[in-house]
Amino acid sequence: MVNRQTASYLTKRFQQTGMRPLSRFGQNFLIDLNLVDLIADSADIDDRDLVLEIGTGTGSLTSRLAARAAHVITVEIDTNLAQLAQEELEDLPNVTMRLHDALKNKNNFDPELLENIREEFDKLPAKRRRFKLVANLPYNVATPIISNLLRCDPIPDVISVTIQKELADRIVAPPGTKDYSALSIWIQSVANASIVRTLPPGVFWPPPKVTSAIIRIDTDANLRARIDNIDFFHEKLRALYFHRRKFLRSVVLSAMKGELDKAQVDAVLEKLGFSGEIRAERLTVAQTIELINELGTASAEAK
């Protein structure tokens, strides 16, 4: 098992290879080995699990995941770093390393990666298999990774990742707070989220300029079942919160432009008992789901 990801080890290995951490890839390596273990432990991994790791790094977390999981798919975008990690992981038969971007674009996962995930997932016993994302996520892609994966097949059972504390606060934010956003609603609509641990910059090499956090997200089929159409919900949620501080009637009209006219929007708000003069950001998660479901029904009937 890799247990050498300390500042001195990383400095030496990077000097030997002529490499340096690349900020454009969000490369900040966790050097507190107890916290590396905590990320893996927080996901409750066992031999039922297919684990996806995005950002292989030097393979320190990867090897810990492989010791617990049925199979690990780890993705690294940096060719030089992938070669370094491969030296550490080559003797682990239950690890598949993929060298490319996990995202096709900011709104979609790479289709080849999703197909690889489905292939490995289908190899596990159907009655007990689970899919989990466990990673020290590159900060520059953390939001699209988490947000988009929750719309993919298979849906992750657990997400246990290190991200910016600011992003973690947004994910768990309650209605009416400054951090409450479309991302808060989206994740809380389909999952339960909690911050496991706050991490100071000094536990990383090189240290980032921000505080970080380990967050755990548990998806919930009962929560998800409240949503009539996941893709429609995700699309309209983003549209509603594009102008989150405007009045509800105004943002709904904008979000439903070309689908519903003013009278139809007013009818939806009246049916739900929602005032068009409140700000969209004041709606609770349940109220937002109710609103977008009703907008979807009205849109379908108007066609």
Report whether 229 belongs to an annotated binding site: no
Q: What is the mean pLDDT of the chain?
A: 94
Report whether 136 belongs to an annotated binding site: yes
What pLDDT sits at residue 253?
A: 97
Would you place residue 127 in the very low, low, confident or very high pLDDT band (cuts 50, 70, 90)? very high
For residue 220, what are the CA distances in angstroms to 14, 76, 226? 42, 29, 11
Asked if residue 1 has pLDDT above 60, the reply is: no
Q: How many Å apart are CA 70 and CA 157, to the nearest integer?
A: 15
What pLDDT sits at residue 7?
A: 83
Would you place residue 9 in the very low, low, confident or very high pLDDT band (cuts 50, 70, 90)? confident
Query: Can you give the pTM of this predicted structure?
Result: 0.93
What pLDDT sits at residue 16?
A: 81
Listed in order, strand segments (DSSP E) in 110-190 are 130-136, 158-164
Map residue 188 onto helix, strand or coil. helix
Report whether 103 belongs to an annotated binding site: no
Report whether 34 belongs to an annotated binding site: no
Would you place residue 86 in the very low, low, confident or very high pLDDT band (cuts 50, 70, 90)? very high
**Mean pLDDT (whole number) for 7-24:** 78
Report whether 296 belongs to an annotated binding site: no
Report whether 55 belongs to an annotated binding site: yes
Domain 244-302 matching CATH 3.40.50.510: the answer reads no
Every domain of the chain and the residues it spans: 7-224, 244-302
Map residue 182 onto helix, strand or coil. helix
Domain spanning 7-224, CATH architecture: 3-Layer(aba) Sandwich (3.40)
What pLDDT sits at residue 14?
A: 82
